[in-house]
Structure 1
Amino acid sequence: MSARTVLITGGTSGIGKAAAEALHSRGYGVAVTGQRTESVTRAREELPGDVLVLQADARSLADTDKVVAEVGARFGSLTTLFLNAGVSLPMTLENCDEAAYDEVFAVNTKGQFFTLAKALPLLSDGASVIVTVGIGATRSLPGNSVAAGSHGAMLAMIPTLALELAPRRIRINAVSPGFTDTPMTRTALGTASDDVAATMEAMAEQNPFGRLGRPEDIAGTVAFLASDEAAYVTGQEIVVSGGAGLAI
């Protein structure tokens, strides 16, 4: 491959932003998207000046078309696509809400799938596609059934997508973080706890490594999956959780 380039959806904060910084430091041309104006503004201030920061709603196929067009104009092609945009809206059967349900699937499933479909013409042969899933897709977390279903749908697609993309040697893999200290995690916890810091401390104590994940932990795995060292890895899920979920 020639110059390495990456588009990161949901790349203006948390895991996506850490991945943008990690890949930029490795010489990648980087483009990121974010939905919230304040997050996009902050990313433009904090990320390196040559990072392309675009505001886009992951639910909107029209926004996705615009992103693909702008990224194509900037880079010409992509060697990595990191599908990281996601939303977590905790709900149970007792308090479920149709609009919230639709939003979760629109971002986590529909948005991810169609971003891949629309970006496919930009992907170079031998490119890497990475999808953020999360351990909640395969482990029981109270109030997480809808988010788990939305991420689990993408996880279920990955083996088939890997075979569809294999003739062009395009790899697709999932990275599944455990609880990670990100703005989205703190917001989600805030819906169920009056003391987010205490809740996070308690969660850290339960982790085998004694801490929550950091965005940089996930970014390192993303960088590996994007690299030539992972050139023969496709259709897989890598869990990055410090051992969370292993105990019985």
Structure 2
Amino acid sequence: MKKLEGKVAVITGGSSGIGLATAKRFVEEGAHVVITGRREKELVEAAASIKRNVTTVVGDVSRLEDLDRLYAVVKEKHGHIDVLFANAGAGTIAPLAVATESHFDQTFDVNVKGLFFTVQKALPLFKDDGSIILNSSVSNVLGLPGFTAYAASKAAVRNFSRGWTLELKDRRIRVNCVSPGAIDTPALATTTGLTAEQAEQAVAQFTTQIPMGRRGFPEEIAAAVAFLASDESSYITGVDLAVDGGMAQV
């Protein structure tokens, strides 16, 4: 039997990168997935690449009414949730001396408020014995100049998993974090505010910090998330699983 046979999984930020790779892996493992993202065109393309057992809902996790609409679709189509991968995130470079209020608010609105209410609003549909996986980052333990608001938001995510592990233990819902390191996704070049040349320089710098000597692939994060979603991790809860090629470990 496949690891997630018959499970219903919700993935935020599921139209590209880690979210899309995880949606594909979940479907390969037998799950039905509901993915959400802000751009309809990308969601349609993502669904076409997943091919089966996928439902799309356009929405922004920082808007609570969009989350309500997401879960209304899940309730109507599936009636319950077995797995939630709270993956949607945002991060742009802004050194302390020049960071603006809007930069700070955008980072925390998506990464902290959005994730918090993504989980809260899923709970009424969650089956007992389910699995919640939060996408944090190795930046939750690293000093990264220019990314301090982002890193702080991801440290908040890590602490959510600790508290929610205790809050949800009576329902036997496991809550874990996955913390990617430098992953080869379009985000570095498209959402951080870096120029193409700066993005290349950042990749080169990251590579020198990674014992494995390369960036990770979205599929490698997806494999870790699938493990945390499945019964193979039945005695694991409250952890922060770093998938970073050793970047923050040595």
Q: Same fold (TM over 0.5)?
A: yes
Question: Does structure 1 conserve the Cα–Cα contact (< 8 Å) formed by 2:136 and 2:155?
Answer: yes
Letter of the 2:82 partner, please give it. Answer: T
Verify the 8 A CA contact 1:83 1:112 in the aligned structure 2.
Answer: yes
Q: By how many angstroms is 1:186 displaced?
A: 2.5
Per-residue CA shift, 1:204-227, capped at 9, x if unaligned? 244211110100110000000011
**Which ranges in structure 2 are unaligned for 5 or more consecutive residues?**
none
Aligned residues of 2:90 and 2:191 also touching (Cα < 8 A) = no
Cα deviation, residue 16, structure 1: 0.6
How far residue 49 of structure 1 moved from its aligned partner, in angstroms, is 3.6
Measure, in 2, the Cα distance between the counterparts of 1:223 and 1:9.
15
| Aligned 8 A contact 1:179 1:185 in 2 | no
CA deviations on 1:21-78 (whole Å, 9 max, x unpaired) are 0010010011111112332232132222431111101110000000001011111111
Quick check: 1:11–1:17 contact (8 Å CA) kept in 2? yes
3-state SS of paired residue (1:194): helix
Amino acid at match of 1:230: S
Match of 1:161 in 2: 164
Q: Distance in 1 between matches of 2:142 and 2:191?
A: 17
> Which shifted more, 133-142 or 205-214?
205-214
Match for residue 5 of structure 1?
8
Pairing 1:50–2:92 present? no
Which of 186, 190, 206 is matched with 2:189 structurally? 186
- Compute the TM-score of the two structures, normalised by the length of structure 2: 0.93
Counterparts of 1:1-248 in structure 2 under 5 Å? 3-188=6-191, 191=194, 194-247=197-250
Runs of 4+ aligned structure 1 residues displaced above 3 Å come to none
For residue 180 of structure 2, what is the amino acid of its counterpart? P
User: Structure 1 199/92 Cα, relative in aligned 2: closer, same or farther at 3 Å?
Assistant: closer
Question: Do the aligned residues in 1 keep the contact of 2:180 with 2:242 (CA within 8 Å)?
Answer: yes
SS at match of 1:91: coil
Percent identity between the aligned chains? 38
Preserved contact between residue 190 and residue 196 of structure 1 (Cα < 8 Å) = no
Question: TM-score w.r.t. structure 1 length?
Answer: 0.94
- The answer (yes or no) to whether the contact 1:31–1:71 under 8 Å persists in 2 is yes
Between stretches 84-93 and 2-11, larger displacement belongs to 2-11
**For the residues of structure 1 that align with 2:203 and 2:25, how far apart are their CA atoms?**
25
